[in-house]
Amino acid sequence: MLTEIVLPTALGAIMFGIGMSLQTKDFVLLRTAPRPVLIGLLAQLLIMPLIALAIVWALPVTQDIALGILLLAACPGGTMSNAMSQLLRADLALSVSLTTLSTSLCIFTTPLLINTTFSLFSDAITFTSSSMLAVSGRLLFIALLPVIAGMLFRRAFPMRALKMIPAFQRFAFVFLCLLIIAMVWREYETLVQTSGTLLVSVMMLIVLTSSAGFLIGRICSQPFRACKTLCIETGIQNAAMAMVIAITILDAPALSVVSAVYGLFMYGGPLAVITVVHRFTPKPRLRDTAYTRNN
Residue 294 lies in a domain: no
Domains of the chain: total: 1
pLDDT score, position 127:
55
Confidence of residue 129 (pLDDT cuts 50, 70, 90): low
Task: Give 99's Cβ-side CA count (13 Å radius).
Answer: 30
The model carries a pTM of: 0.81
Average pLDDT over residues 256-273: 87
Read off the CATH number of the domain in which 203 is found: 1.20.1530.20
pLDDT at 206: 93
Dump pLDDT digits (tens) for 218-236: 999 899 889 999 999 998 8
DSSP string, 30-93: HHH-HHHHHHHHHIIIIIHHHHHHHHHHHS---HHHHHHHHHHHHS-B-TTHHHHHHHTT--HH
Does 47 map to a domain?
yes
- The three-class DSSP label of residue 150 is helix
d(CA 101, CA 282): 33
Most confident of 179-183, 190-194, 225-229: 225-229
Query: Would 292 be classed as within a structural domain?
Result: no
Nearest to 100 by CA among 167, 20, 176: 20
Q: What pLDDT digit, counting tens, does each position of 22-58 carry?
A: 777 666 666 777 888 899 999 999 999 999 999 999 9
Distance set, CA 168 to CA 11, 153, 161, 176, 210 (Å): 11, 14, 10, 12, 26
What is the span of the domain harbouring residue 89? 2-287
Q: What is the pLDDT of residue 247?
A: 83
* Average pLDDT of the chain to the nearest whole number: 81
Domain annotation covers residue 144: yes
| Whole-number Å distance between alpha carbons of 138 and 56 | 27
